[in-house]
Structure 1
Amino acid sequence: MPGYTAVVNRPLAITATYTDPTGHPHHRPLTGWPSRIFQHETDHLSGTVYVDKLEPRSLSTTQTYTDLWNDPVPTRAAEALRFELD
């Protein structure tokens, strides 16, 4: 959806479980922006894109979103649009 964006409600703290290129498993706690990025990229591995999970009230043009709520963690958007963040 070029030109549009929305908030995807994601947990702010996770434990990332992954295997490195040498085959060794890892478990790493992530919070805030790194947690959101990891979840976003993991969604892509499953064929999921943001429109599959977006908060409907937050769908807006990219410019409007940038002008009003441009934060790594969408706290201001959730408060203004009255939806809960996990």
Structure 2
Amino acid sequence: MPKLRWSASVPGYEAVVGRPLEVEVKAFSEEGRAVSFMAKGWQARQIQHAVDMLNGILYVDRMETKSFRRDKVEEDLPEGVPYGVRAAKVPRSRPKSSTGKRSARARR
């Protein structure tokens, strides 16, 4: 399941990054012995993120582009922008009926 992701390498922004929920890890211990294990859930996400960082890949390289947004505004708003204006929310997909067509309710 995709999760909203942010990183100190791209401060002030966040995006949805889909990752497998489970990964097999093969590595070497500090003593040089081969080890392997299955990582699931949050641990699997963290390992994938760490491997990406070691390979120079940022979350923005894997993000769902339409989900990219500011996570907070730290600078002053431009002149003429009314106080309290917030960034647009990440668009949600609309539910489809069992026939694959959008229901009348979902089209509103």
- Where in structure 1 are there 5+ consecutive unaligned residues? 64-76
Structure 2 residue identity aligned to 1:35:
A
Please list every run of at least 4 consecutive aligned residues from structure 1 whose deviation after the TM superposition is greater than 6 angstroms: none
Find the structure with the greater CA-based Rg.
Answer: 2
Residue by residue over 1:49-80, the C-alpha shift from the partner in whole angstroms, topping out at 9 and shown as x without a partner, is 111111112212224xxxxxxxxxxxxx8xx6
Q: Identify the residue that residue 55 of structure 2 maps to in structure 1.
A: 46
Q: Which has the higher helix share?
A: 1
Normalised to the residue count of structure 2, the TM-score between the two structures is 0.55
- Where in structure 2 are there 5+ consecutive unaligned residues? 1-9, 73-89, 94-108
Which of residues 5, 12, 28 is equivalent to 1:3?
A: 12
Q: Identify the residue that residue 79 of structure 2 maps to in structure 1.
A: none
CA distance in structure 1 between the partners assigned to 2:32 and 2:92 by the alignment? 43
**How many residue pairs are counted as aligned between the two chains?**
67
Structure 2 residue identity aligned to 1:19:
F
Greater relative contact order (Cα < 8 A, sep 6+)? 1
Q: What is the Cα-based RMSD across aligned positions, in Å?
A: 1.7
Q: Identify the residue that residue 23 of structure 2 maps to in structure 1.
A: 14
Normalised to the residue count of structure 1, the TM-score between the two structures is 0.68
Q: Is the 8 A contact 1:58 1:81 kept in 2?
A: no
Q: Is the 8 A contact 1:4 1:59 kept in 2?
A: yes
